[in-house]
Structures are given as structure tokens and as C-alpha cells.
């Protein structure tokens, strides 16, 4: 086994990142970058698989996502951040991997299945979208990544990647590729402000890292609490209460949150009081992030320069891996 720990992770640039991303993977990446070699890709190729008609949207969000990364403290000196479409080796590797995966297997991938339903593709699912798990396996393996900090919804991608790794090494009788493991966040998942299980851009229930303070406050005031908690004096429910779910994650004072829960269940604690506390808690978390983001946003060329530097470093590693792959596949031709 390869004992070097290398991280590969990333996001689709289809919109700015939100608190769900933070809890789901950004927080882990900020911590892990101190210990491991970390590559972070901005997955514009993958974003295009269901946004091919909106290339300008994907393009502009590459920078937004980069600014979000810098804002939360991903440090380009420690982490190599790169643009997926600028690494042609990824597309080539995907092509080789496609021989090792059946249509039926991708069709059984639970995340792909869910997304096909959500996006209403039905039978007309674009092939590019359908094969994105294979392209994601290329993303991870091209830098020989063996740690992947992602949200739990990405576990099927890791499983599929490891199947490809094993099939490749077995078929070409080598150990060029390495298996990977996911690093899943401690907090299961952050609900949306509407109380739905997942915060997501498409559900319109997200608080963005870049939201101004007044927007955050408005979103918190509209949060789903307990439909039966009508009067302040009524006993309220803590389970399924979005405000408490957020306080559990972001309020550093656990003892006070425990006392508030008790008070709420007893009756006499109003939603507005509770929401005002959450607004303060979120503001002290988001303000430094927003300030840093605004600083970096003043010089988009600098952010782009950092991205291009990261991309050049990655391409160097990618071409080495691809050479090894082509070697064992008898694809190296010399005159």
C-alpha cells in the first residue's frame, strides 16, 4: 500500500457555496490541509454535464467557488486548487476507465439515480451526465488521492472509484492506482432553512457564505421551527426544529443551548428570541468569512492567478499518472 496520504476533493461550480458545504466538507478540508497534501478541484467539466446549455454560468461560478475557498481559509500555500477542464489528462483517463464499468453498474449508483429523478431526465439522460461517476474516479485517481473529504451523498462515488481502481489494477496486472476512502463530517447534515433534510441551491433553502448580514437575518427569521408552537407559552419541540439544528452546529456555548432547549420544551421561550440568538451566532461565524471574501473579491485576477498556478502543478502530476497508466495499457508508442 501507498503510505503517502493525498487528498483529492472538490465542488461543482454551479453557484456560490453555502453553510451545507461548509459543514459537509469545507471544514474538514481546512483542517486536513495542515497534515496532508491536498488537491481541490473546481469541477467545471462535471458542472457542464447538467449545465451544458449554460457555460457562462459555470464559468462565472468558478471564481465564486474559488473566492469561497479562500474566504473559509483554504490556503493556496497548503492546498493545490485547480480547474478540472484545464487538465486534459482527466478526460483521457475517463475514456480508459469507461471500458471497466458497465452501464448497469452506473445505473445502480444511488446518487446518480437520485439526481436523474431530481432533474427529471428520465430516459433522456445525457451520456455525459450518466458517466460522471467515471470521470470523478479519474479526478481522484489522477493524483493518486487516497482521502476524499466529502458529504455523505458522495459515498457511492467513492465506492465506484474503488471498484474501478481494483478492476484496473487486476486487468492490467499492476498497482498503478490506489484506493481511496471518504472523510465524512461529524454532523450528519445541515437542514435547509425550510426544515427540509438537505440544504441545497436547487431547493432554494440555503444560507450562502457570501450572504450579507441582512439577508442572513431575513433567512433566519423565516426558518422553520415547530408548526405547533403558536404561542410563546406553548411547549415547543426541539427535534426537527431547524433553529436548534443550527445552534447545535454553530453555537459554541453548548451549555446555554442545552438550557434553551429545556426552556423551549417547557414553554415560555419564543421563536423570535431563539432566532435572534441564531442570527448573532451565525453573524459571528460568517463575518470574518465575508470580510475575507470581500477582500479577495477586490482582485479577481489574483484569485485566477492562484487557480492557474494550482492547475499547472496538478497537470504535472496528472501527466505522470497518465504515463504510468498508458505504460501498463501498452499505449506508449516510440519511434
Q: How many residues bind ligand TRP (CB under 6 A)?
A: 14
Nearest-approach distance from CB 25 to ligand TRP, in angstroms: 8
Residue 30 engages ligand TRP in binding (rule: CB under 6 A)? no
Residue 8 engages ligand TRP in binding (rule: CB under 6 A)? yes
Task: Assign 12 to helix, strand or coil.
Answer: coil
Nearest-approach distance from CB 96 to ligand TRP, in angstroms: 17
CA distance 275 to 266: 18
Q: Supply the DSSP string of 207-241, one letter for each residue.
A: -BTT--HHHHHHHHHT----TT--STTS----TT-
Nearest-approach distance from CB 111 to ligand TRP, in angstroms: 8
Say if residue 216 is exposed, middle or buried (CB neighbours under 10 Å; 0-12, 13-18, 19+). buried
Binds ligand TRP (CB under 6 A): choice among 44, 68, 92, 139: 139
CB 48 within 8 A of CB 90: no
The residue among 148 and 303 lying less far from ligand TRP, judged by its C-beta, is 148
Any bridge partners for residue 8, and if so which? 39
Nearest-approach distance from CB 187 to ligand TRP, in angstroms: 18
Helix axes 271-297, 254-266, angle to 10 degrees: 140
Site for ligand TRP in 145-164 (CB under 6 A): 148, 150, 154
Nearest-approach distance from CB 257 to ligand TRP, in angstroms: 30
Nearest-approach distance from CB 333 to ligand TRP, in angstroms: 30
C-beta neighbour count of 256 within 10 angstroms: 12
CB 29 within 8 A of CB 73: no
Nearest-approach distance from CB 161 to ligand TRP, in angstroms: 8
User: At residue 37, what are phi and psi to the nearest 5 degrees?
Assistant: -75, 120
Binds ligand TRP (CB under 6 A): choice among 12, 18, 144, 293: 12
Binds ligand TRP (CB under 6 A): choice among 6, 9, 16, 277: 9
Residue 46 engages ligand TRP in binding (rule: CB under 6 A)? yes
CA distance 316 to 318: 5
Q: Supply the DSSP string of 155-209, one letter for each residue.
A: HHHHHHHHHHHHHHHHHTTS--S---EEE--SS--PPPTTS-SS--TTTT---BT
Residue 89 engages ligand TRP in binding (rule: CB under 6 A)? no
Residue 165 engages ligand TRP in binding (rule: CB under 6 A)? no
C-beta neighbour count of 236 within 10 angstroms: 25
Residue 40 engages ligand TRP in binding (rule: CB under 6 A)? no
Nearest-approach distance from CB 268 to ligand TRP, in angstroms: 43
DSSP state for residue 18 in the 8-state scheme: B
Residue 100 engages ligand TRP in binding (rule: CB under 6 A)? no
Residue 140 engages ligand TRP in binding (rule: CB under 6 A)? yes
Candidates 40-48, 100-108, 171-179, 220-228 — which segment interacts with ligand TRP by CB under 6 A?
Answer: 40-48
C-beta neighbour count of 39 within 10 angstroms: 25
The residue among 154 and 225 lying less far from ligand TRP, judged by its C-beta, is 154
Residue 43 engages ligand TRP in binding (rule: CB under 6 A)? yes
The residue among 108 and 254 lying less far from ligand TRP, judged by its C-beta, is 108
Binding site for ligand TRP (CB under 6 A): 8-12, 41, 43, 46, 136, 139-140, 148, 150, 154
Amino acid at each position: 500500500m501507498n503510505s503517502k496520504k493525498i487528498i483529492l476533493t472538490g465542488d461543482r461550480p454551479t453557484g456560490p457555496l453555502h453553510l451545507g458545504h461548509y459543514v459537509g466538507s469545507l471544514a474538514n478540508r481546512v483542517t486536513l490541509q495542515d497534515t496532508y497534501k491536498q488537491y481541490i478541484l473546481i469541477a467545471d467539466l462535471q458542472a457542464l454535464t447538467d449545465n451544458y446549455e449554460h457555460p457562462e454560468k459555470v464559468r462565472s461560478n468558478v471564481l465564486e467557488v474559488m473566492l469561497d475557498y479562500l474566504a473559509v481559509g483554504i490556503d493556496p500555500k497548503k492546498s493545490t486548487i485547480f480547474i478540472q477542464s484545464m487538465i486534459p489528462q482527466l478526460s483521457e483517463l475517463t475514456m480508459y476507465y469507461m471500458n471497466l464499468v458497465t452501464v448497469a453498474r452506473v445505473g445502480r449508483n444511488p446518487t446518480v439515480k437520485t439526481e436523474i429523478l431530481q432533474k427529471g431526465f428520465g430516459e433522456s439522460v445525457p451520456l455525459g451526465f450518466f458517466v460522471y461517476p467515471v470521470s470523478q474516479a479519474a479526478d481522484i485517481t489522477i493524483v493518486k488521492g487516497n482521502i476524499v473529504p466529502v458529504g455523505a451523498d458522495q459515498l457511492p462515488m467513492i465506492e465506484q472509484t474503488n471498484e474501478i481502481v481494483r478492476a484496473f489494477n487486476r486487468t492490467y496486472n499492476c498497482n498503478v492506482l490506489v484506493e481511496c476512502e471518504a472523510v465524512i463530517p461529524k454532523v450528519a447534515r445541515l437542514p435547509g432553512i425550510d426544515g427540509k433534510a438537505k440544504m441545497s441551491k436547487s431547493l432554494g433553502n440555503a444560507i450562502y457564505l457570501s450572504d450579507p448580514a441582512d439577508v442572513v437575518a431575513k433567512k433566519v427569521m423565516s426558518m422553520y421551527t415547530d408548526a405547533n408552537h403558536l404561542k410563546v407559552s406553548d411547549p415547543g419541540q426541539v427535534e426537527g426544529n431547524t433553529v436548534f439544528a443550527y445552534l447545535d452546529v454553530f453555537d459554541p456555548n453548548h451549555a446555554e443551548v442545552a438550557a434553551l432547549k429545556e426552556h423551549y420544551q417547557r414553554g415560555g421561550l419564543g421563536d423570535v428570541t431563539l432566532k435572534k440568538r441564531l442570527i448573532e451566532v451565525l453573524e459571528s461565524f460568517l463575518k470574518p468569512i465575508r470580510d475575507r471574501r470581500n477582500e479577495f473579491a477586490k482582485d479577481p485576477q489574483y484569485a485566477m492567478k492562484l487557480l492557474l498556478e494550482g492547475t499547472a502543478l496538478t497537470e504535472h502530476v496528472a501527466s505522470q499518472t497518465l504515463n504510468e497508466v498508458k505504460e501498463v495499457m501498452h499505449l506508449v508508442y516510440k519511434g
